[in-house]
Amino acid sequence: MNLKKKVRTEVFLGLLQIGTGRHVRARGLQARDATPVGRVPSPGGLDCEKSGRCAGFTLIELLVVIAIIGVLAALLLPVLAKAKQKSQQAFSMNNLKQWALSQSMYVSDYADTYPTTKIPNGTPGAPGGYNEDNPTWADLWAFYYHDPAEGIDAWFNALPPYVNQKPLYYYALQSADASGNKPSIDYFNNDNTIFRCPSAIIDDALTYPNRPKYDRIFFRYGMNSKALDGQPASVVHLKTGMITAGAARLVMFDEGRTLMNEQPFYGNSQKQSDICKPQVYTTDLSARHGGGTTLAFTDGHARWFKYGYMCLNTPAKAADPGVPDISWTADGHVVP
């Protein structure tokens, strides 16, 4: 090989060494001091081949790895989000089954009588301004200290002990700490009690309607408010003998809305303010689980339904469409 050709070969191999980050030997030529582009120098400036500690990557290799990670993240994140949603839905369904189970035990203990859906307006001991649809922690405190029996037959007080949970008034009776916080109410709002749905968001409910954090009770679940529709006002307890629609059809517990702007939602803006209520009907139903909600029925089973299946879109409200497997009234009639 003539001298000119030899020089060209050595230059080419030198460039190849720099571009690929590998040490190349060519006809006795050895690169001793060059550090490859994109490679971390070996400790003490030792030759990588001799030290055996060459572990770096080229810039191109790093970019390829980053691109692959980005593609995998784009593929996996929606899957993980869907898995989280399904997990929260399953958690909430389990809570509703617990409510249905506790109700069955209560009915057995109280001569086929169901608990009430609320503590009605006009109940003795009700403080001034009491609203049965938006009770406060102070209201529960007032009822209890007027008479511990007042409101004890409301579902949120009567049923939890059957599944080893605290009744709602328990959280109201606990004292604040030195900083003014009420750990028991924080526990009610944030921990894994049967009152809590992990998908329910209550951020705007904290200030609506302009009440402090420890005033309003944030109901995520509610009892069917229409089971006694058509009965005289004096009838406040549903009895087993009244249920002619079928226990597998009659809704007993459901998931109520906790956000005023929750979508989808049928009806007008006034109805959109009906959030965090202890009693729920189609006008208050949530759609926070994949555009639908879970209902618990009188016979104890629970099932997820799409919002548009449970509710009929009318200008004034989300009405009952009268579907065959859901009844909101004990005798099966559709609420006007």
In angstroms, rounded to a whole number, what is the distance separating the alpha carbons of residues 133 and 48?
A: 76
Chain centroid to Cα 104, Å, comes to 26
In sequence order, which ranges of the chain are alpha helices (DSSP H)?
A: 3-20, 48-51, 59-109, 137-146, 155-158, 168-173, 183-190, 269-272, 307-310
For residue 269, the model assigns a pLDDT of 60
Is the pLDDT assigned to residue 48 strictly greater than 60? Answer: no
For residue 143, the model assigns a pLDDT of 93
Whether the CB-CB separation of 305 and 89 falls below 8 Å is answered with: no
For residue 273, the model assigns a pLDDT of 64
For residue 221, the model assigns a pLDDT of 95
Q: Structure tokens of 334?
A: 């559709």
pLDDT tens per residue across span 273-310 = 678 899 999 988 999 998 999 999 999 999 999 999 99
Torsional sign, CA 186, 216, 163, 182 = positive
Q: Which helix (H) or strand (E) holds 303?
A: strand 302-306
Quote the radius of gyration of the chain (alpha carbons, Å).
33
> Rounded to whole angstroms, what are the CA distances from 227 to 116, 135, 159, 196?
11, 21, 18, 23
What burial letters (b/e) apply to 292-329, b meaning 16+ CB within 10 Å? Answer: bbbbbbbeeebebbebeebbbeeeebbbbeeeeebbbb
In angstroms, rounded to a whole number, what is the distance separating the alpha carbons of residues 295 and 248?
A: 11
Q: Taking residues 195-209, what's their average pLDDT?
A: 73
In angstroms, rounded to a whole number, what is the distance separating the alpha carbons of residues 214 and 87?
A: 29
| Strand 251-255 to 221-224 pairing | antiparallel
In angstroms, rounded to a whole number, what is the distance separating the alpha carbons of residues 153 and 324?
A: 31
How wide is the angle at C-alpha 39 spanned by C-alphas 35 and 40, nearest 5°? 90
Share of the chain above pLDDT 70, in %: 77
Q: Structure tokens of 128?
A: 């001034």
User: Mean pLDDT over all residues of the chain?
Assistant: 81
pLDDT tens per residue across span 226-270 = 999 999 988 989 999 999 999 999 999 999 988 877 888 888 765
The label of the residue with tokens 């904290």 reads 206
In angstroms, rounded to a whole number, what is the distance separating the alpha carbons of residues 150 and 171?
A: 16
For residue 258, the model assigns a pLDDT of 86
For residue 2, the model assigns a pLDDT of 54
Torsional sign, CA 205, 209, 210, 212 = negative
Whether the CB-CB separation of 171 and 188 falls below 8 Å is answered with: yes
How wide is the angle at C-alpha 296 spanned by C-alphas 111 and 97, nearest 5°? 85
Question: What is the band of 70 on the pLDDT scale with cuts at 50, 70, 90?
Answer: confident
Q: Pick the residue with more confidence: 56 or 235? A: 235
Is the pLDDT assigned to residue 73 strictly greater than 80? Answer: yes
Q: Structure tokens of 195?
A: 């009152």
pLDDT tens per residue across span 94-139 = 999 999 999 999 999 999 999 999 999 999 999 888 999 889 899 9
pLDDT tens per residue across span 158-196 = 999 999 999 999 998 887 666 667 778 888 877 778 999
pLDDT tens per residue across span 140-166 = 999 999 999 999 999 999 999 999 999
Counts of helices then strands in the chain (DSSP H, E):
9, 7
Whether the CB-CB separation of 286 and 293 falls below 8 Å is answered with: yes
The label of the residue with tokens 């959280």 reads 171
For residue 10, the model assigns a pLDDT of 54
Sequence ranges of the domains in the chain: 86-319
